[in-house]
Structure 1
Amino acid sequence: MPEVFHTFASFGLQERKPMRFEADVFECEVEGEIPPELQGSYYRSGGDRQYPSLEDDIILNGDGMISAFHFEEGHVSFRSRYVQTERLKAERNARRRLYGHYRNRHTDDPSVSNLPQRDNTGNTFAFEHHGKLFALREDSHPYEIDLETLETVGVGDFGALQSTALTAHPKIDPVTGEWWSYGVFAEGEPDTRASLHVFDKDGKLIREQMFDTPYPGLSHDWGVTREHLVFPIMPLVADDARLRDGGPYYQYDPDLPGKWGVVPRDGDPARDMRWFDIPGLVMGHVMNAYTDGDKVIIDTPASPGNCFSFFADKSGRFPAMPETITQITRIIFDLSKPDDEAVSLQPVEGALGDMPRIDDRFAMQKHTTGYFALRDFPQMGVGQIMWDTGELRVHELVGAASQEPVFVPRSVDAPEGDGFILTVVDRFEEKRADLLVLDGNDVSRPPIATIKLPFAMPMAFHGCWVPR
């Protein structure tokens, strides 16, 4: 008898169910006028389980779903497709669930116990580099996706890369075009082995260095400046013995401080890293990082407790809502000071939310504008921080919530922030979604255009704009 679909735990203590469909919408309904500068495609990736899961599943375990809004001469069309991973194809052939809990092979059907890249769902970041689109997932080598059709090409070619993990939050150097990446649990097991790796502008591996982290903790995003690298290790700890007992991959340990490694960009992480403690703070994403003299600055949404609300702590307790709320915070590492005096925190008043982005042309250097999904319930919307003045601008939403905002410059040489914000908005009462086009100079203004879809969409995590 076919299994039933259980709800799965999402962020913010929410419960969701998979939507389980691929879609094509030619000539989307548009309110307003599409700016003529928008010629290209906006790609997104998220998780949506096609087959039933075990009970107590989490959103991170969904099958990869790639979606695209194609812009051409004022017209917009939409397409979404599952990433055809070896995992999904095995389940389709069997016509049933074969895979168990998130990153726990001990909960799988015996018929797939030895499948390579078991966890590679491609469900986290639709990312373009050297003319290719990839579906990234932080514990695997990403799948390549056809830019037009969204059909799955196969696992990408990453040369002699030793690490089994390739972060879902790569950083493109806007000066050199290099793809900077790293991976924790780099040898495939939940341990302290990690890898720094860099690909040139053509996608060729030019650097890989192995190192160890202080403990086997979660590391979802990181910081790259023109002079330094920042590796955050969060106190959500992986443990193989727990996995063998059928337990969850991560467990929050409030007694451990977050560990933040800072190393010169041209240094050896195994030899030159300085590790700093920041207790009582958990982060998942990075807006940007830059170096100013002896100071390394990183902007991140940070919570006072465990913002990964679907992972319990070591006593079995799940966090209360106030512990999960993230606030955009500037963290400064003053490398001229001793370790216990080097770190300072500057939260931005009113900037509650996540999914931070910038104008990527200014990545790795001092930025003046940042964007994020505002989640100051009941106020929801899109936030914009003017870093030089501290001003917070808000595009308010009623009965709706924003997913990640992505910036598109008006032209290649436009000033920072002069362009457009693309963000998918969930319309809860209408059970459908819109794509808003907002003014990147001031998101508080009314939408320039609204691209309307006649259905809701699975939550996507991260995406990118590719000009035509």
Structure 2
Amino acid sequence: MEGSAKHDVGNDNLHGLASKWPLAFDLAGSGASCRLEGEIGDLVVFGEIPKEISGTFYRIMTDPFVPPHPGNVPLDGDGNISAFRFHDGRVDLKMRYVETERYLLERKANKALFGLYRNPFTHHPCVRAAVDSTANTNLVLWADHLLALKEGGLPYAVDPDTLETGVYDPFGQVKSKTFTAHPKVDPFTDELVVFGYEAKGLATKDIVVYALDKNGMKKDEQWIQAPWVAAIHDCAITPNWLILVLWPFEADIERMRRGGQHWAWDYDLPATFVVVPRRKSTKLPDGWKEGEYRVYPWRNCMLIHTAGAWEDGENKLYIETSRVHDNAFPFFPPEDGRMPAPDAKADFVRWELDLNMPSNTRVSDPRVILDMPCEFPRIDERFLTKAYEYIFLDAFMPDKSDGGKNIFHGLNALAMHSSKTGKTRFFYAGDGSLIQEPVFIPRSKDAPEGDGWVIAMVERRDVNRNDLVVIDTREFEKPIAIVQLPFHVKSQVHGNWVDAVCLKDQKSLVREVKPMGISGKGVLEPII
């Protein structure tokens, strides 16, 4: 209709009416904040969910509750959890914010008090001593606590059923200010392998490495130094080694004091691996000294996430990662303001690390496993630390796309790749649809690797709504069930599956409805 206007959150000129929400791409259209808390029992399901799928798919998104600082970046919205509980072929949903110190302060003030991402110099003076973590990146169940993670701070604990934020601090055992959003579970030793960078404070090169046993007790603590103040988002583990993956961003205190961003891309810095023995008992290769770790650079690129890693003999490691051949976070440009190439290539690759190489030796070029934009790799995590066959990840299929030709235009398919056969199978999300990080669920405790189901969120952009798809890996190309949400939710950062047997006394996510009847007094009352 002539004169009509399409309104998205972030549009500050609807019929000339101003909004407190800044005009920003990540807050408009499908990026509009949800700001929802609540529950829905028994979501609409098309198809049939196998009754063997019993547990909860926890996902978390960056979802600012109050209008953010206009210069802030998409990484810094408040953490909002969506929990999908699968039981008896049904699915219930609960959504709730992580009530971080930052969230509570800003909600009480009803306005933004925190400025730029991890830059306390831009925060309101009254909150500069407060913890500014938004706990919005990942959710991991460990030692009976569901931990909401953000790499710039320590975890928050949330109740796995009510999603209420509680107080839990096993990490007082380690004098670190940070905790990774990507800890790794070693399924063979029942350890959670943890690291924290900028561990002694803002823009410090200190990295802490340790493990938490199944009871949450610390072991094998080490402190090392980064080659520069680098962003270290993800890592990988083998039975004896931790591999940290450094991005070519640099942090600078003086830039922050001037009101600039915490991170700036640096085209002169290489993507870098830091290889650290996991424990003092690790047998070191010839030439290594006790307490040593080694640094292996490549070239400038961004290795966003890892799938896994494994050992080949005593001196060789393999690690697989996604790779973007430029800055995948253009909201953190270099000091000269250059933007990444609009057609930046992206792929999925395997790296070989020779531990006989001296520190600062450049690693060889990787082997390309999937020559297409792809991200969020996951494996059958029962095999983490070992060589594996199957990888599940989001992919971009240009021949199915109605848009651009690279990773910046979104990911429209799931891929299942076999390293044994070299074959890749695809599930296409549908026209006008984008897909988010998958999770894998084994068919049984002792099922062969990769035999089970994959669950992922799909965004239906044309109808502004979301679905969960359930895919049987035996027939990967089409779903066996679709769980329909009645509204749109923002894209998650990360998510994980928690089997029902891992939750003690698992309760319903939704309130119980008691049957009613007429009492002897003629009053409608619950039947006990």
TM range (shorter): over 0.9
Unaligned runs of 5+ in 2: 1-17, 283-288, 402-411, 501-528
- The one-letter code of the counterpart of 1:284 is I
User: Hey, what does 1:183 align to over in structure 2?
Assistant: 196
Q: Does 1:313 pair with 2:329?
A: no
Question: In terms of mean alpha carbon deviation, does 381-390 or 354-363 score higher?
Answer: 381-390
Deviation at 1:337, TM superposition (A): 4.7
- Looking at structure 2, the residues matched to 7 and 436 of structure 1 have their Cα atoms a distance apart, in angstroms, of 32
- The one-letter code of the counterpart of 1:433 is N
Structure 2 residue matching 1:322: 3-state secondary structure:
coil
Q: Compared with structure 1, are the counterparts of its residues 209 and 202 closer, same or farther at alpha carbon in structure 2 (3 Å cutoff)?
A: same
- Looking at structure 2, the residues matched to 206 and 249 of structure 1 have their Cα atoms a distance apart, in angstroms, of 31
The sequence identity of aligned pairs, in percent, is 34
- Looking at structure 2, the residues matched to 3 and 104 of structure 1 have their Cα atoms a distance apart, in angstroms, of 25
User: Hey, what does 1:35 align to over in structure 2?
Assistant: 50
User: Hey, what does 2:471 align to over in structure 1?
Assistant: 438
- Looking at structure 1, the residues matched to 134 and 435 of structure 2 have their Cα atoms a distance apart, in angstroms, of 24
- The one-letter code of the counterpart of 2:266 is D
Q: Does 1:5 pair with 2:21?
A: yes
Aligned residue among 255, 259, 263 for 1:242: 255
User: Hey, what does 2:391 align to over in structure 1?
Assistant: 370
Q: Does 1:335 pair with 2:351?
A: no
User: Hey, what does 1:404 align to over in structure 2?
Assistant: 437
Unaligned runs of 5+ in 1: none
- Looking at structure 1, the residues matched to 83 and 230 of structure 2 have their Cα atoms a distance apart, in angstroms, of 33
Deviation at 1:154, TM superposition (A): 2.8
Q: Does the CA-based 8 Å contact 1:311-1:318 persist in structure 2?
A: no
Q: Does the CA-based 8 Å contact 1:8-1:16 persist in structure 2?
A: no
Q: Does 1:288 pair with 2:308?
A: yes
Structure 1 residue matching 2:366: 3-state secondary structure:
strand
Structure 2 residue matching 1:180: 3-state secondary structure:
strand
User: Hey, what does 1:77 align to over in structure 2?
Assistant: 92
- The one-letter code of the counterpart of 1:275 is V
Deviation at 1:405, TM superposition (A): 0.3
Q: Does 1:256 pair with 2:272?
A: no
- Looking at structure 1, the residues matched to 435 and 341 of structure 2 have their Cα atoms a distance apart, in angstroms, of 22
Aligned residue among 57, 60, 67 for 1:45: 60
User: Hey, what does 1:421 align to over in structure 2?
Assistant: 454
User: Hey, what does 1:231 align to over in structure 2?
Assistant: 244
Deviation at 1:18, TM superposition (A): 1.9
User: Hey, what does 2:4 align to over in structure 1?
Assistant: none
1:222-255, Cα deviation, whole Å (9 max, x unpaired) = 1111122111222100111111111011101101
Q: Does 1:460 pair with 2:492?
A: yes
User: Hey, what does 1:381 align to over in structure 2?
Assistant: 413
State the Cα RMSD in Å: 2.2
Q: Compared with structure 1, are the counterparts of its residues 90 and 150 closer, same or farther at alpha carbon in structure 2 (3 Å cutoff)?
A: same
User: Hey, what does 1:171 align to over in structure 2?
Assistant: 184
Deviation at 1:259, TM superposition (A): 2.1
Q: Does the CA-based 8 Å contact 1:418-1:440 persist in structure 2?
A: yes
- Looking at structure 2, the residues matched to 14 and 364 of structure 1 have their Cα atoms a distance apart, in angstroms, of 40
- Looking at structure 1, the residues matched to 382 and 61 of structure 2 have their Cα atoms a distance apart, in angstroms, of 25
- Looking at structure 2, the residues matched to 48 and 156 of structure 1 have their Cα atoms a distance apart, in angstroms, of 25
Deviation at 1:10, TM superposition (A): 5.1
Say which one has the larger Rg. 2
- Looking at structure 2, the residues matched to 228 and 14 of structure 1 have their Cα atoms a distance apart, in angstroms, of 43
How many equivalent pairs are there?
Answer: 463
User: Hey, what does 1:104 align to over in structure 2?
Assistant: 119
Deviation at 1:342, TM superposition (A): 4.6
Question: In terms of mean alpha carbon deviation, does 402-411 or 346-355 score higher?
Answer: 346-355
Q: Does the CA-based 8 Å contact 1:9-1:59 persist in structure 2?
A: no
Q: Does the CA-based 8 Å contact 1:211-1:270 persist in structure 2?
A: no
User: Hey, what does 2:513 align to over in structure 1?
Assistant: none
Question: In terms of mean alpha carbon deviation, does 312-321 or 269-278 score higher?
Answer: 269-278
User: Hey, what does 1:206 align to over in structure 2?
Assistant: 219
- Looking at structure 2, the residues matched to 103 and 364 of structure 1 have their Cα atoms a distance apart, in angstroms, of 32
TM-score, normalised on structure 2?
A: 0.84
1:149-188, Cα deviation, whole Å (9 max, x unpaired) = 1111135332411111110000001011111010110012
User: Hey, what does 2:145 align to over in structure 1?
Assistant: 132
Structure 2 residue matching 1:243: 3-state secondary structure:
helix
Q: Does the CA-based 8 Å contact 1:63-1:121 persist in structure 2?
A: yes
Aligned residue among 304, 321, 326 for 1:300: 321
Q: Does 1:348 pair with 2:369?
A: yes
- The one-letter code of the counterpart of 1:130 is A
- Looking at structure 1, the residues matched to 217 and 206 of structure 2 have their Cα atoms a distance apart, in angstroms, of 23
Q: Does the CA-based 8 Å contact 2:37-2:95 persist in structure 1?
A: yes
